[in-house]
A and B are shown apart, each in its own frame.
Chain A
Amino acid sequence: MARSSEDSAAIRAGLAVGLAAAAYGVSYGALAVAAGLDVWQTCVMSLVMFTGGSQFALIGVLATGGVAAGPTAIASAAILGIRNGIYGVRVAPMIGGRWWKRVAAAWVTIDETTAVSTNQPTLRSQRLGFWTTAAATFIGWNLTSLIGALIGDALGDPRQWGLDAAAAAAFVGLLWPRLKQRQTIAVASAAAVVAVALTPVLLPGLPVLVAGIVAVVVGGFNWLSNAEPPLIPLEREGI
Chain B
Amino acid sequence: MTMWLIVIIASLACLSLKLAGYLVPSSVLDRPTPARIANLLTVALLSALVGVQTLGHGVGLEFDARVPAVLVAVVLFALRVPFVVVVVAAAATAALIRLSGWG
Contacts and interface: CB of A to CB of B under 8 A. Distances in A.
B100 interface: no
Interface stretch (A5-13, A115-123, A125-133, A209-217): A209-217
Interface residues of A, number: 110
Interface string A180-200: 000110011111111110011
A48 B50 contact: no
B69 A207 contact: no
A60 B49 contact: yes
Main SS of the interface on chain B? helix
Contact of A168 (B13, B24, B43, B66): B66
B69 A169 contact: yes
Interface in B58-103: 58-61, 65-66, 69-70, 72-74, 77, 82-84, 86-96, 98
22 contacts: A37-B7, A74-B6, A76-B49, A78-B10, A80-B41, A86-B29, A106-B15, A163-B91, A165-B69, A169-B89, A170-B83, A170-B87, A172-B86, A173-B77, A191-B48, A195-B51, A200-B61, A209-B45, A215-B43, A218-B40, A230-B36, A231-B29
Contact of A211 (B38, B47, B59): B47
Chain A, interface SS category: helix
Given A168-B70, A184-B43, A200-B61, A27 B84 contact: yes
Contact of B90 (A51, A165, A208): A165
Contact of A77 (B10, B41, B57, B61): B10
B48 A211 contact: yes
Contacts of B37: 215-216, 219-220
Given A78-B13, A83-B39, A160 B6 contact: no
B29 to A, nearest CB: 6
Contacts of A233: 39, 42
A86 to B, nearest CB: 5
Contacts of A229: 32, 36
Given A48-B15, A159-B98, A172-B74, 17 more contacts: A37-B3, A53-B42, A67-B1, A70-B1, A86-B35, A87-B21, A164-B53, A166-B91, A166-B94, A168-B53, A174-B46, A175-B50, A190-B44, A191-B43, A195-B48, A199-B56, A230-B36
A172 B6 contact: no
B18 A85 contact: yes
Contacts of A137: none
A79 B91 CA distance: 27
B83 A211 contact: no
Interface in A45-67: 45, 48-51, 53-54, 56-58, 60-64, 67
